[in-house]
């Protein structure tokens, strides 16, 4: 089986080389239940799909040097179109059996990949989210960001009858079957609520696992603001009213 790690990147020259190295360093050897209480060792092939979303800080030039690197695909957007557009482009080029979204900064730790993959490999779930609020080691960050995140997750739970703890997480992992049924249109921060709404409206239940989180400060390149929360809220309400069919 193959894992495709999709990395949308915009002006991440300080971290892009490091996150690629960390993704490459994770040993994709996982022990899973193989039926009749027998354990099976699964070895996954690795594919990294990096989408540069119109970077202007040197990220694009660095990624250009990786065009022929084994196990890496690099795709360039000529203009900045937003994270959602980057992920959508990555999904279109990915060839893996399982797909995982990884931010280009260092907030999320690829060593959590194994926990994210195990429920899918054991056929307990088709979609797994990594939650920053289920007990993993977490750097203490902004109170108002946490409150906004929990409010939007609460709205998701009310509108879609689920019990998520972290709808806005970067770590979204799903099978190719799920990916092929998605019809993503959001270009920017509407991506997280859009993909979550579509998954839930398609009647997939989302499995959550605890992950670690090392949030970065605004001076380190953090980009989200309170205005993005309005986009998230509208996207959740829009899909609840209009519905979705793949």
The pLDDT, as a whole number, for residue 246 is 75
Q: What is the CATH number of the domain that holds 202?
A: 3.90.550.10
The pLDDT, as a whole number, for residue 64 is 97
Quote the domain boundaries for residue 156.
2-242
Give how far Cα 6 sits from Cα of 109, 126, 155, 242, Å: 14, 17, 27, 29
Do β-strands 172-175 and 127-131 pair in parallel, antiparallel, or remain unpaired? antiparallel
Return the SS3 of 224. coil
The alpha carbon dihedral of 85, 131, 113, 125 has a sign of negative
Do β-strands 29-33 and 98-101 pair in parallel, antiparallel, or remain unpaired? unpaired
The pLDDT, as a whole number, for residue 115 is 97
Which segments of the chain have a pLDDT < 70? 35-37, 139-142, 216-226
Return the SS3 of 186. coil
The pLDDT, as a whole number, for residue 202 is 97
pTM strictly above 0.85: yes
What count of other Cβ atoms lies within 10 Å of the Cβ of residue 178? 21
Q: What is the pLDDT of residues 34-61, one digit of tens each?
A: 766 688 999 999 999 999 999 999 999 9
Q: By CB neighbour count within 10 A (0-12 exposed, 13-18 middle, 19+ buried), where does 152 fall?
A: buried
The pLDDT, as a whole number, for residue 139 is 66
The pLDDT, as a whole number, for residue 220 is 46
The pLDDT, as a whole number, for residue 43 is 94
The pLDDT, as a whole number, for residue 224 is 58
State the total domains in the chain.
1
């Amino acid at each position: 089986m193959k894992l495709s790690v999709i990395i949308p990147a915009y002006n991440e020259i300080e971290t892009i080389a490091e996150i690629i190295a960390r993704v490459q360093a994770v040993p994709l050897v996982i022990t899973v239940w193989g039926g009749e209480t027998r354990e099976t060792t699964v070895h996954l092939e690795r594919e990294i799909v990096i989408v540069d979303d119109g970077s202007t800080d040197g990220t694009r030039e660095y990624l250009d040097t990786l065009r022929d690197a084994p196990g890496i695909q690099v795709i360039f957007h000529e203009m900045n179109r937003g994270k959602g557009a980057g992920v959508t482009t990555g999904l279109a080029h990915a060839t893996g059996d399982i797909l995982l979204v990884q931010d280009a900064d260092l907030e999320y730790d690829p060593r959590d990949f194994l926990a994210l993959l195990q429920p899918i490999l054991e056929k307990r779930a088709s979609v797994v989210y990594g939650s920053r609020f289920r007990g993993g080691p977490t750097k203490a960050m902004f109170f108002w960001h946490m409150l906004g995140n929990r409010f939007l997750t609460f709205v998701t739970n009310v509108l879609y009858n689920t019990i998520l703890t972290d709808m806005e997480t970067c770590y979204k992992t799903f099978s190719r079957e799920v990916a092929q049924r998605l019809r993503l249109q959001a270009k920017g921060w509407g991506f997280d609520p859009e993909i979550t709404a579509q998954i839930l409206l398609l009647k997939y239940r989302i499995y959550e696992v605890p992950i670690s989180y090392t949030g970065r400060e605004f001076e380190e390149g953090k980009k989200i603001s309170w205005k993005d929360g309005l986009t998230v809220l509208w996207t959740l309400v829009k899909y609840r009213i209009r519905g979705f069919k793949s």
